[in-house]
Structure 1
Amino acid sequence: MSKTFYRIGQIVPSSNTTMETEVPALLRSREAVAPERFTFHSSRMRMHKVTKEELVAMNREGLRCAAELADARMDVMSTACLVAIMAMGPGYHRTVEKELEGVVRENHCDAAVMTSAGALIEGLHIMGARRISLMAPYMKPLTRLVVEYIESEGIEVVDALSFEIPDNLDVGRRDPMQLIEDVRKLNISNVDVVVASACVQMQSLPAIEAIQSAIGIPVTSTAVCTTRRMLDKLGLDARIPGGGALLTAQFASSLSSAAA
């Protein structure tokens, strides 16, 4: 008999209020059209201000969080902070994933382990993105690090908007529908994909389909990519209504090759 219930684990910054809403919202939408059911579980790392110093300190807590989630026998677990990983330098998500997986296996859990940073890169590759533009809440120096990280993975960033919100709670309070207006300031000439939120805390899910319709270009976000990769890791169909192009039949055929 095939598995029907899955436990979703996230390693979340203590001030993050978005990944525990957007990822469940997407998977609840999937429950309306598919038989699988999901429960959601988190462990938190302390962080208030989105500065490199706080991000470095927060990263040290990730292994503790992975062990805690392993105790509850997750089926898949992911970090829920993109910039904390990308600020550490190119390719760092692979290092983090290996370290987290080591802790998870030591604690006798078989969960698939991933990062939101890696999920964004992988999601963009699934979409065949070579040129993108993105929006982010970070201060400009942190946005530059994110841009450099993405470009180190072979994806050109044509333009990036920085909203320069230092307090992580304020990032989570930003009206996602404002992105529909913000995208008008973004250079999207000849890009393959627009990333509505290159941040797991900046809400974007309610606006993704509207932006996509307005600009005629595939639109995604870090939360959407994280959800997609969770489903890939679980070997489940990744089509979900309302989540933008990555969660449609257009890119569903990439599931088997991307599942590793």
Structure 2
Amino acid sequence: METEVPAILRARQAVAPDERFTFHSSRMRMTHVTPEQLRAMDADSDRCAAELSDARVDVLGYACLVAIMSTGLGYHRTSEQRLHARTAENGAPAPVVTSAGALVHGLHTIGARRIALLAPYMRPLTRTVVDYLTHEGIEVLDYEALEIPDNLDVAAHDPARLPGLARALEYTDADAVVLSACVQMPSLGAIEEAEQLLGKPVVSAAVCTAHQMLRALDLDAVAPGAGHLLSGPYARTPWPGASRETGRGKGTEQRIGGGTV
């Protein structure tokens, strides 16, 4: 979250040079990716939302996909509404994007009903992600759990390995491939390589989160070097939270708040 989303927004300045973004983060503590630590981390998200709204951010992103998905089916909607309420209570209402909800919406946006997926989690948590996506109408044809328990080791995983790992999946009948179902595991630099290698649209949790944050800001969701989703055809796709929350509209500077692990 703290590396790839800002990198996407910096790259965006090549096509929108008048825009500027500032990035603010508040951390929920978690060291090992276990159900117990994920539940404790999610309980801390209200504090993070309040802290970030002190900075009067224009959009807030909740970074941990599996913390949301392991809480319950469809929970990203509950989390987004509750955290938006925390910002409103603090006098600084901001739209909220969760990486879990963004991945779901990003896959629906590109019409991906069947996917293959890579995740850094242990196998039971990866199965939770698969079940969550299935509940949202997305069939996971194949997946690989890299089984990396330590959160810092997830961040240190070499993204250059991902295209080869993805190629080992059964992806022929998939509509798209998720190169990283985790914003902590870096993949941005390998997205376009993987698309060329696999001949399929390739997304990640971070790319989908950036897409939804830009749409929540009512900005065109376009950025070079981030794959099919941000290449232009989906620049004006409606943001699913627009019916309940409103961003602060277009401007030359946008403040991005990230609740991260």
Q: TM-score, normalised by structure 2?
A: 0.90
1:175 is matched with 158
Q: Residues 76-109 of structure 1: CA distance to partner in whole angstroms, max 9, x if unpaired?
A: 0010100001011210111111110111100011
Answer 1 or 2: which has greater helix percent: 1
Indicate yes or no: 2:33 matched with 1:20.
Answer: no
Asked if structure 1 preserves the Cα contact closer than 8 Å seen for 2:212 and 2:239, the reply is no
Indicate yes or no: 2:41 matched with 1:58.
Answer: yes
1:9 is matched with none
Asked if structure 2 preserves the Cα contact closer than 8 Å seen for 1:229 and 1:259, the reply is no
Indicate yes or no: 2:196 matched with 1:226.
Answer: no
Once the two structures are TM-superposed, the CA of residue 185 in structure 1 deviates from its matched residue by 1.3
C-alpha distance in structure 2 between counterparts of 1:207 and 1:257, whole Å: 26
2:221 is matched with 238
Of 174, 196, 205, the match for 2:188: 205
Of 84, 108, 120, the match for 1:125: 108
Once the two structures are TM-superposed, the CA of residue 252 in structure 1 deviates from its matched residue by 2.6
Asked if structure 2 preserves the Cα contact closer than 8 Å seen for 1:232 and 1:259, the reply is no
Q: Partner of 1:20: helix, strand, or coil?
A: coil
Indicate yes or no: 2:70 matched with 1:74.
Answer: no
1:85 is matched with 68
Q: Partner of 1:58: helix, strand, or coil?
A: helix
Indicate yes or no: 2:89 matched with 1:106.
Answer: yes
1:134 is matched with 117
Residue segments in structure 2 that go unaligned for 5+ positions in a row: 243-261
Once the two structures are TM-superposed, the CA of residue 259 in structure 1 deviates from its matched residue by 6.6
Q: Partner of 2:31: helix, strand, or coil?
A: coil
Q: Partner of 1:251: helix, strand, or coil?
A: coil
Indicate yes or no: 2:26 matched with 1:43.
Answer: yes
Q: Partner of 2:2: helix, strand, or coil?
A: helix
Asked if structure 2 preserves the Cα contact closer than 8 Å seen for 1:235 and 1:259, the reply is no
C-alpha distance in structure 2 between counterparts of 1:126 and 1:81, whole Å: 21
Q: TM-score, normalised by structure 1?
A: 0.91
C-alpha distance in structure 2 between counterparts of 1:180 and 1:248, whole Å: 19
Report the RMSD for the aligned CA atoms in angstroms: 1.1
C-alpha distance in structure 2 between counterparts of 1:73 and 1:257, whole Å: 21
Identity %: 59
C-alpha distance in structure 1 between counterparts of 2:165 and 2:81, whole Å: 37
Q: Residues 19-77 of structure 1: CA distance to partner in whole angstroms, max 9, x if unpaired?
A: 10000000000012102110000001110000000000111110000000011100000
C-alpha distance in structure 2 between counterparts of 1:257 and 1:93, whole Å: 14
Indicate yes or no: 2:137 matched with 1:154.
Answer: yes
Alignment of 1:6-17 (within 5 A): none
C-alpha distance in structure 2 between counterparts of 1:36 and 1:142, whole Å: 38
Q: Partner of 2:233: helix, strand, or coil?
A: helix
Indicate yes or no: 2:234 matched with 1:251.
Answer: yes
| Structure 1 letter corresponding to 2:8 | L
2:77 is matched with 94
